[in-house]
Structure 1
Amino acid sequence: MKSNPLLSLAPWIVFTLAAGNGVAAQWSAALAALVALAAAVPSLLTGRPKLLDAMGIATFAALSALAFAGGHGAQAFVTDHGRTVATGALAALIFLTLPVLPFTEQYAREEAPRIVWNTPAFKKTNRLFSAAWGGVFALMTLAHLLASTAPHNTGLDVVCNWIVPIVAVQQMFTFMKRYRARQSAPRTA
């Protein structure tokens, strides 16, 4: 059973959708933690747990516990800053693990033959993709932070919490597709 990085990112999407549509902070985070746990099942069943899955479980369980146990102030913090914290934690994890194990490599190994796992091209591509994804999540963190400075500004909310993340992710997929196409194109002298 192959793991899917989009499934591993589902908790962040669920949290954003729930929190952005008025669901109480503690319930948005609890729902995201449950989704993270469910998303981890395929990698756990294969005995190859993924960094993203573990990060999703830890991040959203912590946000949920904080919102449930911390009272109104903690709930307000998770409501206003939960997206910033969640995407910031994800960006930090990606950048911190980049030199040791680029997160995309965990998924790429399920697609690529074992013989290429230690090749320079495989390593370079996964470091590039992971670093670029880290940049996407860092950009999203900044956008969420900007939106949190004016929580009642609908225009800023739409741009920073929705448009910027959607466009950034879409551009990342486009970049990956073009990069792979360039790498597999025959070279001419």
Structure 2
Amino acid sequence: MSYLRTFVPWIVFAVVPHAYWQWAALTAVVLSVLELGIRVRAGSKPEALVIELGTALFFAVIAVLAFANPETSLHDYVPALANGMLAIIAGTSLAIRVPFTLAIAKQTAPQEVWEEPLFIRLNYVLTTAWAICFVVGAVALAFLAYSPGPRFAVMVAVFVIPVVFTLRYVAHVRAQAEASEASA
């Protein structure tokens, strides 16, 4: 579950009450910069830090906006914008052929599988699933901008659905690979 650390700034921002969005954004900036620092010190290359860089940039912009104009009309659309940014990050990572889940998976997967086609394909599928959830979340949250009840449910679902899919899909692929090895 090391991938959850990557999403901590997003989760913190989502759960802090709406009225304190400036502080939630500032906290998210600090958390994202800390994670970025940890990953850089651990030797991660820039192409493996797409989500961390995008997260830091997004929350830096939101924090500046939030403190400069706390009453901005964009405030109600920030959850939709956050999901839109995550969709852009996921899409960019696919476009540059480094799915963001690949860097996360490498934190726990043995190095000998990193170049295997199955491992790489698995991460393309996972990143695509996350991207789809983020796009759906962005659209749903834009429509629900002034409706806080269902909006929180959508924000939770946007993370829970891909987490569950990730866990199940990885287990499924792993079981198939083990079955193939056993029959060979």
TM-score range, shorter chain: 0.7 to 0.9
1:104 to 101, 104, 123: 101
Once residues 172 and 27 of structure 2 are traced to their aligned partners in structure 1, the CA distance between those partners, rounded to angstroms, is: 40
1:182 to 169, 172, 175: 172
Contact preservation (8 Å) 2:9, 2:31 = yes
Q: CA deviation at 1:43?
A: 0.7
TM-score normalized by structure 1? 0.81
Once residues 134 and 83 of structure 1 are traced to their aligned partners in structure 2, the CA distance between those partners, rounded to angstroms, is: 15
Q: Given the superposition, is the C-alpha separation of residues 19 and 77 from structure 1 closer, same or farther in structure 2, using an over 3 Å criterion?
A: farther
> In structure 2, what is the equivalent of residue 76 of structure 1?
72
> In structure 2, what is the equivalent of residue 141 of structure 1?
138
Q: CA deviation at 1:119?
A: 1.8
Q: CA deviation at 1:10?
A: 1.3
Calculate the aligned-residue CA RMSD, in Å. Answer: 2.3
Once residues 181 and 6 of structure 1 are traced to their aligned partners in structure 2, the CA distance between those partners, rounded to angstroms, is: 18
Contact preservation (8 Å) 2:2, 2:108 = no
Give the paired residue count: 175
The 3-state SS of whatever aligns with 2:144 is: helix
Q: CA deviation at 1:90?
A: 1.1
1:8-87 residue pairs with structure 2 within 5 A?
Answer: 8-20=6-18, 22-23=19-20, 25-48=21-44, 50-69=49-68, 71=69, 75-87=71-83
Q: Which has the higher contact order (CA 8 A, sep 6+)?
A: 2
Q: Deviations over 1:30-69 (max 9, x none)?
A: 2221121223232122021622221111101011112333
Contact preservation (8 Å) 1:10, 1:35 = yes
TM-score normalized by structure 2? 0.83
Structure 1 residues without counterparts, runs of 5 or longer: none
**Which residue type is aligned with residue 62 of structure 1?**
V
Once residues 168 and 89 of structure 1 are traced to their aligned partners in structure 2, the CA distance between those partners, rounded to angstroms, is: 13
Once residues 138 and 157 of structure 2 are traced to their aligned partners in structure 1, the CA distance between those partners, rounded to angstroms, is: 14
Contact preservation (8 Å) 1:88, 1:141 = yes
Once residues 32 and 19 of structure 1 are traced to their aligned partners in structure 2, the CA distance between those partners, rounded to angstroms, is: 14
**Which residue type is aligned with residue 132 of structure 1?**
A
Contact preservation (8 Å) 1:10, 1:39 = no
**Which residue type is aligned with residue 86 of structure 2?**
L
Once residues 34 and 172 of structure 1 are traced to their aligned partners in structure 2, the CA distance between those partners, rounded to angstroms, is: 25
Q: Does 1:169 align with 2:159?
A: yes
Q: CA deviation at 1:172?
A: 2.1
Once residues 28 and 177 of structure 1 are traced to their aligned partners in structure 2, the CA distance between those partners, rounded to angstroms, is: 28
Q: Deviations over 1:108-134 (max 9, x none)?
A: 122223332222101110000011011
